Chains A and B, each alone.
Chain A
Amino acid sequence: MAQDVKDTQQPKTEIPTVTLTIDGRAVSVPKGTTVLDAARQLGIHIPTFCWHPKLKSVGACRMCYVEIEKMPKLQVSCATEAMEGMVVRTDSDQVKQGRKAVLEFILLNHPLDCPTCDKGGECDLQNLTFRHGFDDSRFEFQKYRFTHGAEHTTFDDVRIGPEIVLNRNRCILCYKCVRANKEAFGEYDLGVYERGNIAEINAAPGELVDNPFSGNLVEICPVGALTNSDWRYKIRVWLTKTTPSVCNFSSTGANILFFKEDHQNKIFRTTSRRNDAIDDGWIADVTRYGYQIVGSPERLRTPLIRRNGKQEPATWDEALELIRRRFGEITERKGKVCIGGLASPTLDNAALYAFSKLFRTVLKSNNVDYRIDYKMLPTSDGSLYLRLSRRPFRIADLDTSDVIVTFGSDLVREHQLPYLRVRKACSFNAARYFSLTPYPVKSADVAESELIYRSGTEEVVLTAIGLAAVEMGLVEKSLAAEFSRKVEPKTLAEASAICGVDEESIRLLARAIADARKVSMFTGEIVSGSPARDMIAAAALNLNRLLGIEQRGQLAALAHSANSVGAEKLGVAPAPPASVVAKLKELWGQYPEAEPCTTDKMLALMRKEDIDGFFIVGADPVMTYPERQFAVDGLEKLDFLVVCDLFETATTELADVVLPLASWAEFAGDYTNLEGRVQRAERAIKPMHQSKTPLEIINLIAERLGGRLFETDQHMQREVSALLALPDQAHAPGEFLAVVPASDENANGSALPLYVCDDPHHSGHLTEKAHSLANFCGEAYVEMSPDLAARLDVTDGTPVRVESEAGKVVVAVRISDHLDNDVVLIPRNFAATAVNGLQLRKRRVDRVKISKVVD
Chain B
Amino acid sequence: MILTQESVKLIKEKVPLYPRRKSAILPALTIAYHQLGYVDDDIYREIADIIKVPYVEIAEAATFYTMFPKAPRGKYLIQVCHNISCALLGADSLIGYLEKRLGIAKGETTPDKLFTLISVECLGSCATAPMMQINHDFYENLTPQKVDQILDELRAEA
Which residue numbers of A lie inside 8 Å of B, CB to CB? 188-195, 204-207
Contacts and interface: CB of A to CB of B under 8 A. Distances in A.
B60 interface: yes
A204 B63 contact: no
B59 A205 contact: yes
A191 B41 contact: no
Given A191-B59, A193-B59, A206 B64 contact: no
Question: Which of B44, B56, B57, B64 has most A Cβ within 10 Å?
Answer: B56
Interface string B58-71: 01100110000000
B103 interface: no
Given A191-B60, A194-B64, A195-B64, A205 B41 contact: yes
A204 B56 contact: yes
B68 to A, nearest CB: 12
Contacts of A194: 63-64
A194 B66 CA distance: 9
B124 interface: no
B51 to A, nearest CB: 14
Nearest to B57: A188
B139 interface: no
Interface of B: 41, 44, 54-57, 59-60, 63-64
Nearest to A178: B60
Contact of A190 (B41, B56, B64): B56
Nearest to B70: A205
Contacts of B55: 188, 204-205, 207
Contacts of A191: 56-57, 59-60
B56 A206 contact: no
A180 to B, nearest CB: 14
Contacts of A205: 41, 44, 55-56, 59
A206 B60 contact: no
Contacts of A207: 55-56
Nearest to B41: A205
A188 to B, nearest CB: 3
15 contacts: A189-B56, A190-B56, A191-B59, A191-B60, A193-B59, A193-B63, A193-B64, A195-B64, A204-B55, A204-B56, A205-B41, A205-B44, A205-B55, A205-B59, A207-B56
A188 B41 CA distance: 15
Contacts of B60: 191-193
Nearest to A196: B64
Nearest to A200: B63
Given A191-B60, A193-B64, 8 more contacts: A188-B57, A191-B56, A191-B57, A193-B60, A194-B64, A195-B64, A204-B59, A205-B44
A188 B54 contact: yes
A206 B54 contact: no
**Closest 10 pairs between A and B when the two form their complex, measured CB to CB:** A188-B54, A204-B56, A191-B56, A193-B63, A205-B41, A191-B60, A188-B56, A195-B64, A194-B63, A205-B59
A195 B41 CA distance: 17
Nearest to B62: A193
A190 B57 CA distance: 9
A188 B64 CA distance: 17
A205 B59 CA distance: 8
A816 to B, nearest CB: 15
B41 to A, nearest CB: 4
Nearest to B40: A205
B62 to A, nearest CB: 9
Contacts of B56: 188-191, 204-205, 207
A312 to B, nearest CB: 55
B77 to A, nearest CB: 20
Contacts of A193: 59-60, 63-64
A192 B41 CA distance: 14
A815 to B, nearest CB: 14
A206 B41 CA distance: 8
Contacts of A190: 56
A570 to B, nearest CB: 45
Nearest to A189: B56
B48 to A, nearest CB: 9
Contacts of B64: 193-195
Contacts of A188: 54-57
A188 B61 CA distance: 13
Question: Which of B44, B59, B60, B63 has most A Cβ within 10 Å?
Answer: B60
A195 B142 CA distance: 31
Contacts of A189: 56
Contacts of B57: 188, 191
A230 B59 CA distance: 29
Nearest to B44: A205
A158 to B, nearest CB: 16
B71 to A, nearest CB: 13
A749 B7 CA distance: 42
A191 B54 CA distance: 11
A191 B59 CA distance: 8
Contacts of A195: 63-64
A127 to B, nearest CB: 30
B50 to A, nearest CB: 16
Contacts of B54: 188, 204
B86 to A, nearest CB: 22
Nearest to A195: B64
A194 B41 CA distance: 14
A701 to B, nearest CB: 54
A772 to B, nearest CB: 23
B21 to A, nearest CB: 13
A698 B50 CA distance: 60
A191 B60 CA distance: 6
A195 B60 CA distance: 9
A204 B44 CA distance: 11
A785 to B, nearest CB: 15
Nearest to B55: A204
A205 B44 CA distance: 10
B22 to A, nearest CB: 12
Nearest to A204: B56
Contacts of A206: 41
Contacts of B41: 205-206
Contacts of A204: 54-56, 59
B116 to A, nearest CB: 20
A181 to B, nearest CB: 9
B99 to A, nearest CB: 25
Nearest to B63: A193
A189 B56 CA distance: 7
A469 B46 CA distance: 42
A206 B44 CA distance: 11
Question: Which of A189, A194, A205 has most B Cβ within 10 Å?
Answer: A205
A189 B60 CA distance: 11
A190 B56 CA distance: 7
A192 B60 CA distance: 6
A188 B52 CA distance: 13
A189 B48 CA distance: 13
Nearest to A194: B63
